[in-house]
Amino acid sequence: MIRIYPLEAEKEKIKEYMERIGVDKKGIKIMLPKADFKIFKIDDLNSYAANILKQEALALGAEVAIKRETLIRKTKTDVLIFTTAVQLKKLIEKLNKQPFGLKEVSSELKKFLKERKKVLFLRGRVLNLSQPCICGIINLTFDSFSQDGILMQAQRERRKPEEIALRKAEEMIKEGAKIIDLGAESSRPFSKPISEEEELRRLISPLKAIRKEFKDIFISVDTYKYKVAKEAAEEGADIINDITALRKSPQIVSLIKKYNLGCVLMHMKGTPQTMQINPTYKDVIKEISKFLEKRVSFCLKEGIKREQLMIDPGVGFGKRVEDNLKIINHLEEFKFLNLPIFLGVSRKSFIGKVLNVEVDKRLVGTLATVIVAILKGVDILRVHDVKEVNQAIKTIKAIRKFQ
């Protein structure tokens, strides 16, 4: 009886399959590009460009899916390209000679021919992202949604906040965190902003203590305020994690350039005070993608290097439950920007609503979400439960070794 098995079309897996059956090394080198199957999505292409693209792709043995009406009238259409790496190279060459914006399509597709090295350059140091990286959360607040605010704990135990933050950072680092994210202002739904002075009062002492004790750890500061970002940078912070994507304080750009900081650009609809008041989207993935593309373009034009940037689709920030679930299920679509994906899903309310559990019972839901995110290609996971997430990453890595 003949058995036919469908194989996953990942380049490394195909290579391993060929090695397993004893294919000659030269043969593997010749055949692997033909087995490297790729799918690309292009938004809002005009009908002239879409039809030319389809014909050029068909001539090469590739395929393009477009809206039916595109064939008979002038319209806009989203496009799906199905191609091998070999076909893609030839298609890029052909499109470069075509009108109707296809030269730009050619230029954008060309970026995917070279595999991006997954690294960030932060204050003269390199953060390797060849494996998913854990960012541990330390909330220097009274009112954290996750019920782990350091200030409340310090008040309860009559200890200094920096002492508790230092010990928590130590624990997270031992458990596998490569980044520690410090936030001194709550951004939970309907939270009220605090003054720059209050934010600095909460932030700087713990930041100093952690920087002094752990010189090799990368420190991220969750703020959108210039003065706070400035003092944090002066005290050794490596990353500015800005929920407004540098819209609230665009002058933070000067700090990112001066200190060679990393920057997380996050999508948020509204503000923490308004974001959960009936948020709606026609196409949540497309709207977030366009927003992030604009913010990345702004940063690049201002002189920030790509190796300093990360993007965050902003799960929970102005999204309904179904929006958050769709974002997780379509994380790979944000790879079009060719930047590391930074993701915060830990203990969030959409998990609570799916499972009908309170915040202290959301670990299993968090881990399930994290595993899906890893399989979708997320690079940095911002989490509360470092040990458990690290165990999930190690398990996935071990499984992947045995293809």
Report the catalytic residues.
Answer: 348, 382
How crowded is the C-beta side of 334, counted as CA atoms within 13 Å? 32
Q: Is 263 left (phi over 0), alpha (psi -120 to 50) or beta?
A: beta
Gap between the Cα atoms of 31 and 28, Å rounded:
5
Tokens representing residue 313 in the block: 């689709």
Question: Residue 344 carries which DSSP code?
Answer: E
Cα 262 to Cα 181: distance, rounded to the nearest angstrom:
12
| Closest C-alpha among 331, 306, 400 to residue 117 | 306
How far is it, in rounded angstroms, from Cα 135 to Cα 152?
Answer: 22
Nearest to 369 by CA among 334, 333, 345, 393: 345
Cα separation values, 304 from 34, 67, 182, 260, 327, Å: 37, 38, 23, 8, 27
Burial class (CB in 10 A: 0-12, 13-18, 19+), 170: middle
**Chain centre distance of CA 19:** 33
Query: Which residue from 110, 209, 229, 112 is spatially nearest to 169, judged by alpha carbons?
Result: 209
Task: Identify the three-state secondary structure at position 135.
Answer: strand
φ, ψ dihedrals at 350, nearest 5°: -65, -30
Query: Which residue type occupies 56?
Result: E
For the chain, how many residues are written? 403
The answer for residues whose C-beta is within 8 angstroms of residue 208's C-beta and 6 or more apart is 162, 235, 236
